[in-house]
């Protein structure tokens, strides 16, 4: 595991002290529904016919591609209220995979307030990985569930609690050797969005050990 991995979003919930927040309102993203399959009757193989062994190409894991296109900037970032703050948090999460894969931390820093120590540590950690020659492919983050914690929110700061889905990733050292790889997973995390008078930006993190999925 890279020395700087504690700075990246995928490890955030393991780094900071855990807190459990309740009394939330929000929404759950719809779960993907598998397409119905039609059963196919098996046909006995002809007597004496050889069974074809699976080829390497059919059993190999698909290659993890780098994320090189940044997400679109939401128009709602400049909208006061809940809609704008939610857009800021969603944009920050969407930027994570692009930033980690390209080393371009400028958009992530612009989506954060200057006082956000967590945001700065995240961006600085990614910069350090790239400076050392470490490269990462994959690990895009998407939001399964997002809820506003109204009890901890104010008119200018909104706390959002989330369950995130992370795509598989692989980290390579400068010499091309695989350093770390991991499959898909779910993690919980909270982010604070702050209104600066003109737009919403991420201002802090909130660590979450469990997210109530009930309405």
Token pair 């995928």: residue: 10
Q: Return the percentage of the chain with pLDDT > 70, whole number.
A: 70
Quote the percentage of the chain above a pLDDT of 90: 60
- For 199, other C-beta atoms within 10 Å of its C-beta total 16
Residue 31 CB contacts under 8 Å (≥ 6 apart), including other chains: 144
Which residues on adjacent β-strands are paired with residue 146?
A: 27, 162
Return the pLDDT at 46: 42
> Residue 103 burial by CB count (10 A; 0-12/13-18/19+): exposed, middle or buried?
middle
Contacts of 143 (CB under 8 A, 6+ apart): 29, 90, 93, 162, 163, 164, 165
Question: Looking at per-residue confidence, does 124 or 47 come out higher?
Answer: 124
Under 8 Å between Cβ of 203 and 157: yes
Tens digits of residue pLDDT in 193-205: 999 999 999 999 9
CA geometry: angle 70, 137, 191, nearest 5 deg: 55
**Is residue 100's pLDDT more than 50?**
yes
Cα gap 206→191, rounded to integer Å: 6
The residue ranking higher by pLDDT, 6 or 207, is 207
d(CA 74, CA 151): 26
Segment 93-116 shows an average pLDDT of: 97
Strand order in the sheet with 169-172: 135-138, 169-172, 178-182
Coil, strand or helix: which one is 99? helix
């Amino acid at each position: 595991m890279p020395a700087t991995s504690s700075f990246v979003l995928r490890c955030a919930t393991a780094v900071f002290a855990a807190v459990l927040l309740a009394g939330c309102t929000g929404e759950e993203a719809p779960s993907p529904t598998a397409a119905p399959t039609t059963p196919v009757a098996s046909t006995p193989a002809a007597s004496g016919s050889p069974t074809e062994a699976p080829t390497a190409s059919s059993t190999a894991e698909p290659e993890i591609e780098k994320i090189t296109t940044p997400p679109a900037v939401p128009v709602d970032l400049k909208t006061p209220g809940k809609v704008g703050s939610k857009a800021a948090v969603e944009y920050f999460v969407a930027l994570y995979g692009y930033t980690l894969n390209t080393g371009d931390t400028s958009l992530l820093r612009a989506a954060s307030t200057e006082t956000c120590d967590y945001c700065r540590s995240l961006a600085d950690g990614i910069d350090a990985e790239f400076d050392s020659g470490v490269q990462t492919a994959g690990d895009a983050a998407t939001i399964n569930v997002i809820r506003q914690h109204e009890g901890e929110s104010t008119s200018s700061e909104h706390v959002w609690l989330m369950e995130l889905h992370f795509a598989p990733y692989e980290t390579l050292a400068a010499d091309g050797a695989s350093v770390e790889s991991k499959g898909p997973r779910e993690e919980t995390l909270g982010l604070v969005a702050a209104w600066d008078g003109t737009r919403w930006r991420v201002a802090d993190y909130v660590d979450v050990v469990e997210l109530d999925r009930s309405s």
